[in-house]
Amino acid sequence: MRQALPGKVLKSAISIKSFMVFTLAAAIGMASVAPVSAAKATRDSRYAAIVVDANTGETLHSSSADSRRYPASLTKMMTLYLTFEALSKGRIQKDSKVVFSKNAAAEPPTKIGVKAGGSISVEAAILSLITRSANDASTALGEMIGGSEENFARMMTAKARSLGMKGTVFRNANGLPNTAQFTTARDMAKLGIALREHFPQYYSYFSTRSFAFGRQRIANHNRLLGRIKGVDGIKTGYTRASGFNLVSSVQDGNRRIVAVVLGGTSGASRDNKMAELIKTYMPQASKRGGGDLIAKTDTPMPAVAVAKAQLPKRNAPTPDMRPEAEEIVVADASADEAVESDEVVVAAAVPAPKPVIARTSEPKIAMASTERFGGKIPFQIRKAKDRAPAEGVEQAYAEERAPAVQALDQMKTASVPSGWAIQVASSPSDGEARAILDKTAKQAGAALAKASPFTVPFEKGGVTYFRARFAGFESKDSAWNACNALKKKKIACYAIAQ
């Protein structure tokens, strides 16, 4: 018994020691796991997503959609928007030369590697942004269109405001890290819809799988092209701060959605999440095209023809171009504290030559000037009461616009009937708007037999557009009934009180 006691004591001591070792090991294990979990939580906190019905503007899915995130290379979507706009208005051509400055050539990868003083065509630059997400080509395009990358960034932010992107600020043309540059998933959805709706003539670039550049063939980073049915673009993006981003446009029959995933932990997980969202929400999308959201026309348009109805009373992330009483866009600094109070959105009124670019190390074009735009600057100055004149720019711009605005006001008061009307389209050409009215009247038959066609001018972004409308409806119900009859003939329209 005396000899057995020490054995029991020893055995107990060993058990206690083993327990202590196990407890210590467990504690160390938990300590080592904790930072990993915290890091994972930090990565996951970057996640945001949204799915929007592109036919109706309805939000089908939303997760932190209005929270600030870094856009990374999704920034290039706006660079492309402004490039398409310049193309559609004839300021540049697809074969215009984009010269790479020292600043553009020095951008870090990914890039196509054009040396300072070298050049490529506008079309090649577009394709390089869409496929390789080339930072150097993006900067070169920004400098070409804006005169400088800084001014181009101002133009980008001003355009974002005009599209209803209230949570976005751009600081460069390519999305390289900048803590003052941010966006939201909802804003990226708006931009995705705007690219497709406003520039259908250029949108097919986003479905490019690869293109030949010199001796190399550059493949598209968007791995969902060809993998997921109906995906036809738009853009990927990544930085360490942003995580893996993706905006996708998807069409299946008459259904169309735009989906956004921000802050993915890897390219594969981001793509898988996007595929899951598409599979889940595409069947829920509306089959109707346009309806009371967008009035479309089959008539070929030489420029962007946008006719927006009053949007449904929901948070619809669609381009904010509604036919309200006053449609001139004024960039608003109050929506974004990151825009300094002394910034003027409009570019300096400096005469600029036509777009002929020499092969020099610096671009010679200041695209955003009053002369280039025929006295109409496409980005409006902030309200005079909120902004002091900047070296006479506002005064000069106001003087240049005065005759046009006066004539526009006279046209409005002279030609707008009272009562209820139906709008079927909007065009930058009065003649084209009237041609659409004639075509619609022939297609509509009895629905518009007693209606009177007319056009209404309005100004948007320094450009005059013309609404194509039919008047002569005694009540809201009669206008709605006529519009419903048009929709049965696949003629998009909406009713509005004059």
CA distances from residue 311 to 5, 51, 77, 164, 289 in whole angstroms, order as listed: 88, 18, 24, 13, 14
pTM of the model as a whole: 0.56
Candidates 247, 249, 287; CA nearest to 271 is 247
Contact 498, 474 (CB under 8 A): no
| Separation between Cα atoms, residue 23 and residue 46, nearest integer Å | 35
Flag the least confident range among 244-248, 383-387, 408-412. Answer: 383-387
Catalytic residue among 73, 88, 96, 128: 73
Which ranges of 173-324 would DSSP assign to H, the alpha helix?
185-198, 200-203, 267-281
460 counts as catalytic:
no
209 pLDDT tier (thresholds 50, 70, 90): very high
**Identity of the amino acid at 163:** L
Which helix (H) or strand (E) segment is 218 a member of? strand 216-219
Q: Is the pLDDT of residue 351 over 70?
A: no
450 is catalytic: no
Single out the residue of 208, 268, 218, 185 nearest to residue 109, CA to CA: 218
pLDDT greater than 90 at residue 159: yes
Least confident of 212-221, 305-314, 427-436: 305-314
Helix or strand or coil: residue 53?
strand
Tokens 């709008």 -> residue = 423
For residues 303 and 88, what is the distance between their CA atoms, to the nearest angstrom? 6
Is the pLDDT higher at 433 or at 312? 433
Asked if residue 468 lies in contact with residue 426, where contact means CB atoms within 8 angstroms, the answer is yes
CB 97 within 8 A of CB 120: yes
Q: How far is the C-alpha of 159 from the C-alpha of 81, rounded, in Å? A: 9
The rounded distance, in Å, linking the Cα atoms of 498 and 496 is: 6
**Which tokens go with 330?**
């004024």
Q: Is 133 a catalytic residue?
A: yes
The answer, yes or no, to whether the previous bond of 413 is cis (omega within 30 of 0) is no
Q: CB–CB of 426/295 below 8 Å?
A: yes
- pLDDT number for residue 51: 98
387 has pLDDT over 80: no
- The active-site residue out of 101, 119, 133, 427 is 133
Q: Which of 76, 97, 111, 273 is catalytic?
A: 76
Contacts of 264 (CB under 8 A, 6+ apart): 47, 243, 244, 245, 246, 270, 271, 273
CB 427 within 8 A of CB 305: yes
More confident residue, 358 or 209: 209
Distance CA 440, CA 437 (A): 5
3-state secondary structure of 451: coil
